[in-house]
Amino acid sequence: MRWTPGGISSDVEDRRGEGGGGGLRLGGLGGGGLGLGGILLILIVSFIFGVNPLTLLTGDGSGGSPQPVAEPRSSRGADTATQFVSFVLDDTQSTWDRLLPAAGAQYRHAKLVLFRDYTQSGCGSAQSATGPFYCPADEKVYIDLSFFDELRSKFGAPGEFAQAYVIAHEIGHHVQKVLGIERQVANLRRREPSQANPLSVKLETQADCFAGVWGHSAKQRDKLDTSDVPAGMRAAAAVGDDRLQRMATGHVSPETFTHGSSAERVAAFQRGLESGDIRACDTFGSR
């Protein structure tokens, strides 16, 4: 990507150094410390079976009431990774500042929390094993930057734009919250529990499409290199349910998909990337 290193976004909360120390510990499962293998296992299981990863760590899938958190500290060193995350966050959110009024909504900024090992979110305890996620209760994205190492080494999706795709996807979930889509889907899940997985797939692929809409804007503004689009496609394919299931179990069970197949996720991202139009991301009306 073409970007200029700078300061830290005012929408970033840097909680690194405030973690619980020691090793990662499982709450709901009562386990001991987790190494990288355990982190990958929990992440894959949450993708495969449609389990909120917080359930595996805290035993509470509902998230419960927001937990008190320490006041965010100011950034301790503008390292390149933090500056890149800040750039993508600000660029993504300024794009939605411009686009959402045409869709009849006023965008409000999400916060992005950088943490190491463990922190508290409005959806419960967050640990590295959860992977990046958006919490609608406090409208914050949570990322342990070690996930990007996993994205490269375990999932075969290296490069800056692969990382940007992850951030843009999570901000896509915030766009769904702003537009009221997240609330509507939550209500549908309660009324029709048997449709929980298909609804989740539609929600996730829509967030992929929204990430593509931002990518379209970045491309129009000459922020992308020729290698960036293939990197984004690889990242979307890397976290497809079929690929993750095959990695974990050696076989695929489409009825358990919660995020969509690799092909579905790539197609959704590409649809947003090519159109740049939020209307192209109506995964609920088109299926």
What is the dihedral angle through the alpha carbons of 92, 103, 180, 108, rounded to the nearest 10 degrees? 40
Partner residues linked to 120 by β-bridges: 125
Q: Are 54 and 60 in contact (CB under 8 A)?
A: yes
Ordered DSSP codes for the chain: ---------TTEEE-TT-S--SSEE-STT---EE-HHHHHHHHHHHHHHT--HHHHHHS-TT--SPPP-PPPBPPS---HHHHHHHHHHHHHHHHHHHHGGGGT----PPEEEE-SSEEEETTEEEEGGG-SEEETTTTEEEE-THHHHHHHHTT---SHHHHHHHHHHHHHHHHHHHHTHHHHHHHHHHH-GGGHHHHHHHHHHHHHHHHHHHHHHHHHTT---TTHHHHHHHHHHHT-HHHHHHHHHSS--GGG-SS--HHHHHHHHHHHHHH--GGGG-TTT--
50-59, 125-134, 220-229: least confident range: 50-59
> Which residue has better confidence, 100 or 153?
100
5-19, 51-65, 95-109, 152-166: least confident range: 51-65
Q: Provide the percentage of residues in the chain whose pLDDT is more than 90.
A: 52
- Per-residue pLDDT tens over the stretch 65-101: 334 444 444 444 458 889 999 999 999 999 999 999 9
pLDDT band at 7 (very low <50, low <70, confident <90, very high): confident
pLDDT at 133 over 80: yes
pLDDT at position 44 is: 54
- Per-residue pLDDT tens over the stretch 184-227: 999 999 999 999 999 999 999 999 999 999 999 999 999 988 88
Alpha-carbon span 282 to 268, nearest angstrom: 10
Alpha-carbon span 247 to 63, nearest angstrom: 28
Regarding beta strands 133-135 and 140-143, do their DSSP bridges make them parallel or antiparallel, or are they unpaired? Answer: antiparallel
C-alpha pair distances (Å), 274 with each of 205, 213, 219: 15, 8, 10
Encoded tokens for 109: 């900024």
> Which residue has better confidence, 1 or 209?
209
How high is the mean pLDDT of the chain? 81
Q: Provide the percentage of residues in the chain whose pLDDT is more than 70.
A: 78
Distance from chain centroid for Cα 20: 23
Domain assignments of the chain as residue spans, ordered by start:
12-281
pLDDT at position 152 is: 84
Alpha-carbon span 269 to 236, nearest angstrom: 7
